[in-house]
Structure 1
Amino acid sequence: MNKSHKNNQILSAAASALAIVLAVTPANALPGQNINTVIKWAKTKSQLPTLTYSSEAHGYGGTKGNLYFYADVTSENGTVTKEGITVSGDSSLKFTTKNSPAVKLLKNIYNSNIANDFQKSRYVTKVGRDQFYRGTSFAYITAKVEGGSAFQIIPLKDLQGLINNAKYCQTHECDL
């Protein structure tokens, strides 16, 4: 009975340690994950707004201060297809691989892996206002927008299709 009690104590200690690690480890909400994961993650980020659903936008979004965050959910199973951040009214922040305030914001919102992946990403092309980058983990689209700068994270597998679509929309009428 003493051995059984000791095993229970060890098992209990291991479970407690695992619970602490899981509670402290920051969740990452990225394209490919379920929207419920993204909504829960956004609630843990003080700089992000509360996300609400918009049927017109096919996803969730919100504004907090000068930051707008959104997650597109076009699949029926609730999978996030892309995420974006737009910061307005701050001329020092431009989403480029060399802009320290932008990279720092990405690190604070996501993590250093995403910030580093974007910072080390390879410039692919520019179509209209959009600049396309290929990282190791994800692809990125940045743009200078009226009054600010925009950033999107997309799955690597979608990069060429989005470039092709952007090129098509340069010469054809597209419903964005």
Structure 2
Amino acid sequence: MKSVDRTFQSAESATVTEQFKDAFRNHAAGVAVITADSGEGPTALTVTSVISVSAEPPILAFSLSAFSGSAQSIKAANSLVVHLLQAGQMDIAQLCAQRGADRFGDTSKWGRLASGEPVFLAAPVWIRGMIIDQMEIAGSTVVAVQAVEIGTVEDAGRSDSARPLIYHDRCWHSLCEVTKLQA
């Protein structure tokens, strides 16, 4: 087994923080929008932290920054919707990432599921779930969600033309056949 130097730079915490931010700027991530309604009206935000935790039972997780204006409303909700976006929904991602934007002003772009959660109609795949746990860590919250319903726009979820929306180095990107690597 190879030994790893576990030196910590406590005196250089600002340097480590900047290096950490730079490292994650170079880590591409899929883009999702989270919507919920805790009883105070619909809320939404864009995230790049969605991860699959388990297939059986179907559980996902994401993180919320304490600095997000929507975080408290989402944390207070019992259920929510995670929209997995493709390149064609960049406008939704940008809208929900913009501080102070009226995300639900254009009523032609969203509706409500039978269970009451707000959903963006153009999202190719959405996952309705129940919040099962929350963990506070250093000013952020990791939220665990058990999926209870999956919705797809016809031909969007698995088509060869599906181009996921990616965030990398503070810019929006998409994947396509040209970017595919051969193993």
Confirm or deny a common fold (TM above 0.5): no
| Larger Rg over CA atoms | 1
Q: Taking CA–CA contacts closer than 8 Å with sequence separation of 6 or more, which of the two structures ends up with the larger relative contact order? A: 2
TM-score range for the pair, normalised by the shorter chain length: under 0.3
Scaled by the length of structure 1, what TM-score is found?
A: 0.24
Scaled by the length of structure 2, what TM-score is found?
A: 0.23
Q: Which has the higher helix share?
A: 1
